[in-house]
Amino acid sequence: MTNVFLGIIAVAVLVMAIIQVAAIVFAMSAARRIGQVADRLEQDLRPVMSNLQAITAEAARATSLATAQMERADRMFADLTRRAEQVMAGMPSLIGSAGRGFAFLNGIKAALAAIQELRRSSRRGAPHPDEEDALFIG
């Protein structure tokens, strides 16, 4: 019986050794596949990463251009505001001069209108009393 037990123990040890060798082979195969997947993932992600770097560089360039344009617009509006303030500051003197000029022109216009009225009334002569009575409504 001892030989039978020894045979059973030997077979069990042999089965355990085969299972351990199979597990080691399976683990090595899985490790190799994981390495291949990692290499493939790295190769696939390399163009994506380079594209992301290019996009980031373009975004930085666009941001700097937009900043420069905003600074130009800010300077332009500041110049426009300064010039508008200068024009508004000079308006009272312009309006005062123009007002005096318009007053002078209105005076000449009134004088010409008065002369024309005098000329019309001298051509018509004095109105007759009968004409005044015809206009009276009473």
What's the pLDDT tens digit per position in 53-87? 999 999 999 999 999 999 998 888 888 888 888 87
What's the pLDDT tens digit per position in 122-132? 666 555 555 55
- Least confident span in 2-11, 58-67, 100-109: 100-109
* Residue 95 falls inside a structural domain: yes
* Percent of the chain predicted with pLDDT > 70: 80
* Domain residue limits at 78: 2-124
Provide the mean pLDDT of the chain. Answer: 83
Mean pLDDT over residues 99-126, rounded?
75
Number of domains in the chain: 1
* Residue 115 falls inside a structural domain: yes
Q: How far apart are CA 119 and CA 35, in angstroms?
A: 117
Largest interatomic CA distance in the chain: 173
* Residue 129 falls inside a structural domain: no
